[in-house]
Amino acid sequence: MNPLLPSGEQTIADAAKALDKVDWYIYYRARPQHDALLHERVSAMQARLLQHFGVKGALKRRPQVREGLHTWMEVYIAAPSNFDEILASEVMTAQLSELIEGDRHVEHFWDVTSCA
């Protein structure tokens, strides 16, 4: 049994379902000339996610350019278990793929500490 997984869950997927909400960290790279448009589209997408689904987002970018690209990160805290379908639809609506070089890399985390 993994002590970091809640109440006997055996896999991260099982644990995520048990917790129902996980934090999402999504990073990708884009050319600096797309900065303004990417910021505009992601900000509008995150406003829709907050308004329609109650999921608050943050957008971050590394200050330096590496290999001609900026690294961007979207953060979503306590996203619902069906967030993958919701986000996939919103990313298509926002037409983000035309501004991004390569893939969007998704990482999931949940809190392992409790408030005392």
| pLDDT per position as a tens digit, 5-26 | 455 555 655 554 555 689 999 9
The reported pLDDT for the residue numbered 23 is: 94
Quick one: pLDDT at residue 116? 58
Summarize pLDDT for 93-103 with one digit per residue, the tens: 999 999 999 99
The pLDDT of residue 56:
96
Q: For residue 111, what pLDDT is reported?
A: 77
Q: Which residues pair with 59 in a beta bridge?
A: 74
Burial 37-51 (b: 16+ CB within 10 A, else e): ebeebbeebbebbee
What is the C-alpha separation between 50 and 30, in angstroms, rounded? 24
pTM summary value: 0.79
Asked whether the CA dihedral 16, 92, 60, 46 is positive or negative, the reply is negative
Q: How far apart are CA 90 and CA 48, in angstroms?
A: 8
Note whether 29 and 18 are within 8 A (CB): no
Residue that is written with structure tokens 């639809």 in the block: 89
- Residue 7 is predicted with a pLDDT of 52
Rounded to whole angstroms, what are the CA distances from 17 to 14, 49, 57? 5, 20, 21
